[in-house]
């Protein structure tokens, strides 16, 4: 069974940067789709970015477009999220997610993904 383990969260001031990592272990047969989600206290989990692992095609939520970059390093079975120009509203628990199926609903809905990490906290102060 595959496990996803996030790391790289922390506390930064507004305008700062962080890079999140998501390491996949276990049966690492290729995922079709991987993504990052976040959930702030009292809010629903929202899709931040996704990547099709085969083509490398990416997509982002409007709120992070131009500031965040999702990428992958297949040799290390690792997914990244580079976050620049962080804002206080980016504060949330960030989750890595993955799915092997090419079929499903919109990527930004959590139900699209079958495998999840435990989350890593990102806190941005003003």
| Torsion, Cα of 81, 82, 87, 90 (10° steps) | 10
pLDDT the model gives residue 115? 96
CA distance 82 to 20: 6
pLDDT the model gives residue 86? 98
CA distances from 87 to 5, 17, 29, 53 (A): 24, 10, 36, 28
CA distance 17 to 77: 23
- Mean pLDDT (10-residue bins), the chain, 126 residues: 94 98 81 96 97 95 98 93 98 97 94 97 98
pLDDT the model gives residue 29? 67
pLDDT the model gives residue 107? 97
Q: Are strands 115-116 and 78-83 parallel, antiparallel or unpaired?
A: unpaired
Q: What's the chain's length in residues?
A: 126
CA distances from 37 to 43, 45, 46 (A): 12, 7, 5
pLDDT the model gives residue 30? 78
Three-class DSSP category at 94: strand
Tokens matching residue 25: 């272990």
């Amino acid at each position: 069974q595959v496990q996803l383990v996030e790391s790289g969260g922390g506390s930064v001031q507004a305008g700062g940067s962080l890079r999140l990592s998501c390491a996949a272990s276990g049966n690492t047969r290729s995922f079709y789709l991987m993504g990052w989600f976040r959930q702030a206290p009292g809010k629903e989990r929202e899709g931040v970015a996704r990547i099709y692992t085969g083509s490398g095609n990416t997509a982002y939520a409007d709120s992070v477009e131009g500031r965040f970059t999702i990428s992958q390093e297949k040799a290390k079975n690792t997914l990244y999220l580079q976050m620049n120009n962080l804002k206080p509203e980016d504060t949330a628990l960030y989750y890595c997610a993955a799915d092997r199926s090419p079929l499903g609903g919109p990527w930004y809905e959590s139900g699209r993904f079958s495998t999840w990490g435990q989350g890593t906290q990102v806190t941005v102060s003003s």
